[in-house]
């Protein structure tokens, strides 16, 4: 359907699901006086459609934001006597709208229709100074929890808290997603909760949030951010995170997306030296039928994981068989590094490989000792390293210590003589 036709349907109220209101809304649109709250419903529908996988709606989202902005700026101030339109203006500002429009509306509000606390706090937040209003926003998130703007304020409060109290931000994100299920609010709250818990090594919570995100919003245009954190979580905590956990998180994805994540896990695990995980993820990626390129990558990462094993020759052959055209430049570099390491492992040693530079050889004598700096008068500076003994010569001890050693040896000799005499007398 042409974009113009889609706009007409949205603005006529089809997205609201109230077919009986279509004629009235269409007439309002023709007169240019469609209520802001009705237009906002269309924007919310479009934004929710985007995170649920309809990426073609992104252009409509930009159009709706511009249209609502114009409507709010040209509306008669009396229209905001309806609290729904006030909420619409606030939600618009928190949904990617023009921050200057909220400033404009608040400055014209002589009737007191806007809550000045909310307007002021949001202006600070939208201008990048949200931490200055952190407590106010947190209080308002609780106060307006059951109102239309409640989920948005909870999300904003979490965004503000995340810089100083990441774990505290989870409370606001949990409330935001629970009060706005299936929406862009839940998507954003879940994605940020994954990020917080992964960075804080909160493994059970991170796995729980990741599973929820993967099952609900894997088609979101922001899902690549989630994938980055899920790979990080899996590689860093494999063992605590089991194969069943990984499969459970990814089981509702289509084959292409699962294969992509398994390949990313395999690559990260290979680089991190987590060979068991690399082999596991590579095998799972190979099981998912697809184009030659993903299959080649799975063989590459799986082969690299086998290099430290006794089947190193087989592993080398496997990664050598992967065609260059199936690999990106960085994967070709990774393969070359693996080949270099494997060559060093399988190369037989030569006489020269055991040799060391002459100056680094230590005297092969029992009484040799390393060159170390002995503590002297530190006020005058550290003592230079003492010259070590030449090969075949005994180290020189302190005279007092030497006397002690000699005395001990003479006593042992005397005891030996006594024993010999005793044996001879018998």
Asked which of 83, 105, 127 is the last residue of a domain, the reply is 105
pLDDT band of 366, cuts 50, 70, 90: very low
**Are 85 and 152 in the same domain?**
no
Residue 241, strand partner residues: 238
Residue 327 is assigned to a structural domain of this protein:
no
Residue 330: name the closest of 268, 393, 419 by CA: 268
**Are 96 and 120 in the same domain?**
no
* pLDDT greater at residue 92 or residue 425: 92
- With the C-alpha atoms ordered 112, 114, 115, 118, is the resulting torsion angle positive or negative? negative
Distance in angstroms (rounded) separating the CA atoms of residues 106 and 101: 9
Radius of gyration of the chain (CA): 36
Number of compact structural domains in the chain: 2
pLDDT at 20: 35
Distance in angstroms (rounded) separating the CA atoms of residues 371 and 151: 70
Q: What is the pTM of this model?
A: 0.67
Residue 3 is assigned to a structural domain of this protein:
yes
Looking at residue 314, what DSSP letter applies? Answer: H
pLDDT at 408: 53
* pLDDT greater at residue 159 or residue 32: 159
Residue 238, strand partner residues: 241
pLDDT for 250 beyond 70: yes
Distance in angstroms (rounded) separating the CA atoms of residues 173 and 246: 24
Local structure of 241: helix, strand or coil? strand
Which residues, 6 or more positions from 297, have their beta carbon under 8 angstroms from its beta carbon?
A: 263, 266, 267, 285, 322, 326, 327, 331
- Highest mean pLDDT: which range of 28-42, 323-337, 360-374: 28-42
pLDDT at 19: 34
**Are 52 and 143 in the same domain?**
no
Identify whether the C-beta of residue 87 lies closer than 8 Å to the C-beta of residue 72. Answer: no
Identify whether the C-beta of residue 125 lies closer than 8 Å to the C-beta of residue 133. Answer: yes
pLDDT at 167: 93
**Are 48 and 3 in the same domain?**
yes
**Are 7 and 90 in the same domain?**
yes
Identify whether the C-beta of residue 293 lies closer than 8 Å to the C-beta of residue 260. Answer: no
**Are 62 and 131 in the same domain?**
no
pLDDT for 405 beyond 60: no
pLDDT at 295: 60
**Are 93 and 159 in the same domain?**
no
**Are 126 and 94 in the same domain?**
no
Residue 244 is assigned to a structural domain of this protein:
no
Mean pLDDT of the region 251-276:
87
Asked which of 160, 180, 200 is the last residue of a domain, the reply is 180
- What percent of the chain clears pLDDT 90, i.e. is strictly above it? 48
pLDDT at 306: 56
pLDDT for 23 beyond 80: no
At 238, phi and psi to the nearest 5? -65, 130
**Are 90 and 138 in the same domain?**
no
Render 81-114 in DSSP notation, one character per residue: GSHHHHHHHHHHHHTT--HHHHHHHHHT--S--S
Mean pLDDT of the region 278-293:
76
pLDDT at 9: 39
Asked which of 148, 163, 180 is the last residue of a domain, the reply is 180
pLDDT at 318: 65
Residue 208 is assigned to a structural domain of this protein:
no
- pLDDT, tens digit (0-9, with 9 covering 90-100), for 100-115: 999 999 999 999 999 9
- pLDDT, tens digit (0-9, with 9 covering 90-100), for 298-313: 655 665 555 555 565 6
**Are 120 and 143 in the same domain?**
yes
Least confident of 1-10, 165-174, 325-334: 1-10
116-126 vs 134-143: helix axis angle to the nearest 10?
A: 130
Residue 311 is assigned to a structural domain of this protein:
no
pLDDT at 209: 97
Provide the terminal-to-terminal Cα distance of the chain, rounded to the nearest Å.
121
- Highest mean pLDDT: which range of 213-217, 304-308, 411-415: 213-217
Average pLDDT, the chain: 76
Distance in angstroms (rounded) separating the CA atoms of residues 379 and 290: 73
Which residues, 6 or more positions from 49, have their beta carbon under 8 angstroms from its beta carbon?
A: 57
pLDDT at 192: 97
**Are 91 and 129 in the same domain?**
no
Distance in angstroms (rounded) separating the CA atoms of residues 59 and 135: 36
pLDDT for 187 beyond 50: yes
Identify whether the C-beta of residue 43 lies closer than 8 Å to the C-beta of residue 74. Answer: no
Least confident of 5-14, 154-163, 190-199, 321-330: 5-14
- pLDDT, tens digit (0-9, with 9 covering 90-100), for 81-91: 999 999 999 99
User: Could you tell me the residue range of the domain that residue 71 belongs to?
Assistant: 1-17+33-105
pLDDT at 362: 42
pLDDT for 13 beyond 90: no
């Amino acid at each position: 359907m042409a974009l113009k036709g889609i706009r007409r349907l949205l603005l006529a109220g089809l997205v609201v699901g109230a077919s009986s209101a279509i004629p009235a809304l269409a007439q309002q649109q023709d007169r240019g006086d469609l209520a802001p709250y009705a237009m906002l419903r269309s924007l919310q529908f479009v934004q929710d459609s985007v995170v649920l996988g309809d990426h073609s709606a992104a252009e409509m989202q930009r159009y709706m934001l511009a249209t609502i902005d114009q409507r709010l700026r040209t509306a008669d101030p009396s229209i905001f006597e309806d609290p729904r339109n006030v909420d619409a203006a606030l939600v618009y500002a928190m949904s990617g709208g023009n921050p200057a429009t909220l400033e404009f509306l608040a400055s014209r509000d002589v009737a007191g229709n806007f809550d000045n606390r909310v307007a002021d706090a949001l202006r600070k937040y939208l201008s990048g100074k949200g931490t200055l209003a952190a407590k106010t926003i947190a209080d308002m998130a609780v106060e307006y929890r059951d109102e239309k703007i409640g989920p948005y304020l909870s999300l904003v409060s979490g965004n503000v808290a995340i810089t100083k109290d990441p774990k505290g931000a989870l409370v606001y994100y949990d409330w935001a997603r629970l009060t706005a299920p299936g929406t862009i609010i839940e998507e954003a709250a879940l994605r940020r909760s994954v990020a917080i818990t992964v960075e804080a090594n909160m493994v059970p919570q991170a796995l729980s949030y990741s599973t929820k995100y993967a099952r609900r919003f894997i088609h979101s245009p922001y899902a690549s951010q989630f994938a980055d954190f899920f790979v990080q979580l899996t590689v860093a905590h494999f063992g605590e995170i089991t194969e069943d956990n990984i499969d459970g998180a990814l089981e509702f994805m289509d084959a292409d997306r699962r294969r992509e994540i398994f390949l990313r896990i395999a690559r990260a695990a290979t680089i991190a030296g987590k060979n068991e995980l690399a082999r596991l993820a590579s095998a799972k990626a190979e099981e998912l039928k697809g184009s030659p390129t993903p299959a080649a990558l799975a063989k590459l990462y799986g082969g690299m994981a086998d290099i430290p094993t006794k089947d190193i020759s087989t592993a080398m052959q496997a990664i050598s068989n992967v065609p260059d055209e199936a690999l990106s430049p960085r994967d070709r570099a990774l393969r070359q590094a693996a080949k270099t390491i494997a060559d060093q492992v399988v190369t037989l040693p030569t006489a020269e490989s055991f040799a060391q530079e002459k100056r680094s050889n230590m005297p092969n004598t029992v009484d040799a000792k390393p060159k170390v700096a002995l503590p002297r008068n530190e006020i005058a500076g550290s003592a230079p390293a003492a010259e070590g003994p030449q090969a075949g010569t005994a180290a020189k001890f302190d005279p007092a210590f030497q006397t002690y050693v000699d005395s001990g040896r003479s006593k042992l000799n005397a005891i030996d003589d006594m024993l010999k005499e005793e044996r001879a007398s018998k």
